[in-house]
Amino acid sequence: MQFLAMLEPGLFALGGLLVITALAKYTLRTGDYQSIIRVMVNQLKDGFAMTEFKIYRLGVVLLIIALVIRFINQLFFPS
């Protein structure tokens, strides 16, 4: 399963990049530089704008998919 081994790091990188992009857009829009900490405890001053929320949610979904692929690789196709 060479394809899954190549897909996993790409999804991790893309998911992380999307999460960072959404947080950067929020930070630039609101000037709230503690947003990285606040988003983890769900206490943002202003909520995400719709586009920021969609980018953030897509990034989280890609990170979860990459994690599932990693578990599949480790359980069914050990090296």
Domain boundaries, position 24: 2-76
63 close to 16: Cβ distance less than 8 angstroms: yes
**Which two three-digit tokens encode residue 65?**
């998919």
Helix (H, G, I), strand (E, B) or coil at 79: coil
Distance of CA 2 to the CA centre of its chain: 23
**Which two three-digit tokens encode residue 17?**
């990049």
Q: Using one digit for the tens of pLDDT, what is the confidence trace for 20-61?
A: 999 999 899 988 888 778 777 777 777 888 999 999 999 999
Give 33's DSSP letter: T
The model's pTM is: 0.87
Number of domains in the chain: 1
Q: Which of 49, 5, 2 minimizes the C-alpha distance to 23?
A: 49
